[in-house]
Amino acid sequence: MTVPAPTEGAEGQLLVVGAGTMGAQIAQQAALHGVDVALVDVNAQQLQHAMASNLEWLERRVDKGKLEPQAADAAANRVTPMDDLAAAAAGSAWAIEAVVENAEVKRDIFAALDAHLPAQAGIATNSSNIVVSRLADATGRPDRCCNMHFFHPVLVMDLCEVVRGPATSDETCARAVAWSHRMGRTPIVVEKEIDGFIVNRILGAASREAFALLAGRVASAEDIDIAVKRGLNWPMGPFQLSDFSGLDTVLGVRRDRMEREAAPGDVATVEILERMVGAGRLGRKSGRGFYDYAVDPPAPLPPPD
């Protein structure tokens, strides 16, 4: 599909469901580009945390001279935190779901959105692992559903993978592309559903090989990371990236894929990650993963036995 040029003012309010890291940043990214956003979560504390985290990011940009104070204030004010999905949906032209990576939870959200969104509104899931065909039949508008996979951190990473499901219409695909442009992100279109889409499929192949090398005691995680950074010029090695993403999150994705489409290296990857997560080593967010983040620079740690 040829990606059309961005359209100005073609849509109204954006609804983002889920105020975790991804949802919060998707909302703020849209607001930075003039979009009014309703950010919905049933957890009031999570909503408060999301708004505070986004405000801190905006303030850092102002302090660094990369954002004018007036622009930061405007962007912050364009995001409205809400705990009432029905009320938020009624006034929205497009919805992006960014809740936990659980298909049944997402299906419930899709069904609720279908019940309350205007008839012409589209519904996208930000999932990088759950394809929209597993969710769209929970609605009466499967032709208006697709994946819009943003990358972490959304406020930095430019790409959005728009993934067409079997029932996704050309119009919906074009609207998702236009929304990506409107939010200041570069879209590409994945014309059919496939595990990992494009970026994570390529990255996953490299990561599985890295885990297989570690499992075979060919080299340490630190040396594999150094090899990839210095030999391939990647900004992070595969184990640093896993720590950054969250080892529990990576484990969930890899285990799900192994159960559906086992590939060489999946078993070794899952076994190592299960030991890491079982030991409470979740990566940066827990302070320990393949590296110890209590020291600067982070120090390499061997996987638990």
Cα gap 207→12, rounded to integer Å:
40
Residue 263: how many other CB atoms lie within 10 Å: 15
Q: What CA–CA distances, in Å, run from 275 to 253, 264, 290, 302?
A: 16, 19, 11, 11
Residue 155: how many other CB atoms lie within 10 Å: 17
DSSP conformation class of 156: T
Residue 191: how many other CB atoms lie within 10 Å: 11
Active-site residue, selected from the candidate residues 33, 49, 149, 152? 149
Q: What DSSP line would sit under 234-254, residue for residue?
A: -SS-HHHHHHHH-HHHHHHHH
**Does residue 136 contact residue 126 with C-beta atoms inside 8 Å?**
no
Cα gap 135→102, rounded to integer Å:
11
Residue 152 known to be catalytic: no
Which residues have C-beta within 8 Å of that of residue 299, sequence separation ≥ 6?
Answer: 291, 292
CA atoms within 13 A on the CB side of 267: 2
**Would you please indicate which residues are annotated as catalytic (active-site) residues?**
149
